[in-house]
Amino acid sequence: MMTPQKFCTCRPGATVWLTGLPSAGKTTIAHELAGRLCAEGRRVEVLDGDEIRSSLSAGLGFSRVERDIHVKRIGLVAEVLARNGVMALVPVIAPYADSRAAVRERHASSAIPYVEVHVATPVDVCRTRDVKGLYARQAAGEISGLTGVDDPYQIPENPDLRIEAHQQTAAQSATALHAVLKERGLA
C-alpha cells in the first residue's frame, strides 16, 4: 500500500509577496506576471488582499491586530498553495514589518521559497492613481487609517526586489520580477 505524500512532487511552488501602498501597482504587476507564468505552464494563483478580506478575513477591521491576522491568514493560504506546486502571487499591502517577517519565517520553517517584493511607488503617485478612491475618501474625512497617510507603512529594509513601479510599465516590472524568479530556479 502506498503512503500518501505530504507535499506535491511537481515543479516547486513559491510565494511572491508584493507589498506597497494602496494604488502602488501591486495587483497589476501580479496579474502581468501571472499571465507570463501561466504561458510557461506554471500553476499560478493571485491572492488579492481585497478579495480575501471579503471572504477569509470577513469581519476583520483595520486595527493593527486585525491587519496582522489578515496578513497571517493570507500567508498560510499562500504557503499551502506553494507547498503543492503553485506559484502564489500575493499583492497585499502588509504594512508592518513584523507581520511580513512572520510570514517569511513560516515559509522558511516549511522550506517553501518566499520572495518579498517592495512596490515602491511614492504616496503622491498613489494618491493621483487612487484606483479605489481611498485617498479621496481619506482627504474628505470619510475614512481614517489609510496606510501611508494616517496609518504607518513600514518600508521593507531588505526586500528580495524593489520595484519603482512609477518609473516603468507593469510589463517592465513583471519582467524584473520574472528575472529574479528565474535566477532562483522558480520560473
21 is in an annotated binding site: yes
186 is in an annotated binding site: no
Q: Which residue has the cell 493621483?
A: 128
| Contact of 100 with 17, CB cutoff 8 Å | yes
Please state, in angstroms and as integers, the Cα–Cα distance from residue 48 to each residue in 6, 135, 139, 167, following that order: 26, 19, 25, 23
174 is in an annotated binding site: no
Cα 151 to its chain centre, rounded Å, is: 19
27 is in an annotated binding site: yes
20 is in an annotated binding site: yes
- Calculate helix-pair angle for 170-183, 26-39, nearest 10 degrees: 60
24 is in an annotated binding site: yes
Instruction: Extract the annotated binding site.
Output: 20-27
Instruction: Extract the annotated binding site for ATP.
Output: 20-27
